[in-house]
Amino acid sequence: MKTKLFLLLITFLFINFVVAQSFCVDVDTPSSPELSAMITGTNIQLTWAEATDIPDCSGIDYYEIWKNNIYLTQTSELTYTDTDVTYGTYSYVIYAVDKASHTNSSDKATITLTETTSTVIYDDSGGGGGGGSSYDDDEDTPAFTLTGTDTQENGEETGEPVATTD
Question: Which CATH fold would you assign to the domain 28-165?
Answer: Immunoglobulin-like (2.60.40)
DSSP string, 27-54: -SPPPPP-EEEEEETTEEEEEEPPP--S
CA distances for 107 relative to 57, 92, 125, 133, angstroms: 26, 9, 8, 7
Q: What's the confidence (pLDDT) of residue 153? A: 37
The strands making up 43-48's β-sheet, listed across from edge to edge, are 35-40, 43-48, 79-82
- Beta-sheet pairing, 70-75 with 60-67: antiparallel
Q: What's the confidence (pLDDT) of residue 155? A: 41
Bridge partners for 79 per DSSP: 47
| pLDDT digit string (tens) for the chain, length 166 residues | 666 655 555 655 555 555 556 778 888 999 999 999 999 888 999 999 999 998 878 899 999 999 999 999 999 999 999 999 999 999 999 999 999 999 999 999 999 988 876 778 887 665 554 433 333 333 433 333 444 444 333 344 445 444 333 3
Residue 61 CA to residue 51 CA, distance in Å, equals: 10
- Look at residues 51, 81, 53 and name the one whose alpha carbon lies nearest to residue 65: 81
Q: What's the confidence (pLDDT) of residue 6? A: 55
Q: CA angle, corner 42, sides to 36 and 45, nearest 5?
A: 25
Q: What's the confidence (pLDDT) of residue 55? A: 85
Residue 156 CA to residue 20 CA, distance in Å, equals: 61
Domain chopping of the chain, boundaries: 28-165
Global pTM value:
0.63
